[in-house]
Structure 1
């Protein structure tokens, strides 16, 4: 059973980093001896959604034919396809940089798949060869839910997922 991590304001930075370290250990355990991208994406989505508090969506979009296509996720039904020039996910994919958005209503071109979402973090998934595989997307109904500690933690989780694909 996983303990929910409280929102950023409820714990100290050191406690939050330690909580991400624990989350990484749990994810590493799920990925042990498993190299299937979909299976590991599904497990990571469930782990993060069930462990971190204040989320309403966590999941993957995979790059297919120059657009992002919905992959494994937890949360409400989502937009199925996202163009690379649209929304926070498209910005992360196009720029290959983490997008940390405290208020999605202030992000130009934001796609409101779930109108309850207020903040978002998106991490591009780039393999060792430099190939963009897609993005990891996490949404919250709380404004300002994500910060630099979340960005570092999410990037580490994504790197662990990318590493799990190595056979």
Structure 2
């Protein structure tokens, strides 16, 4: 659903099953819950992958468990970033420098790209620029991703509302 404010954000990681669905769910919760944010706005919010490895898959069970512990639900299914995304979204926020390189390379092939491509971590008040992939890690690594996403999404929302 397009936002009345015309604001849109796409969160991106390698497989769209760990970091980016967590960021999407956290941001959606913040941007649409009046108890969480004084800037209650309608946003177009989604997430995607630079790869096509997990297309159609649900987020990693450890990520879903982490979100549920914080009373956040998601029904997201993994998808690959498309050329249309660069024309649809105002912001494409990714998790690491590899994602950033891949997205910028793909954006260069899109004639009418309007998306501002940045690291989500560039909004972290604790200056942790990279959000590391927790896939091969522990439950605590997913919690760390969640905490980084909370900080970054809060700052991003405050700056763009």
TM-score if structure 2 supplies the norm length?
0.27
TM-score if structure 1 supplies the norm length?
0.27
**Bigger strand fraction:** 1
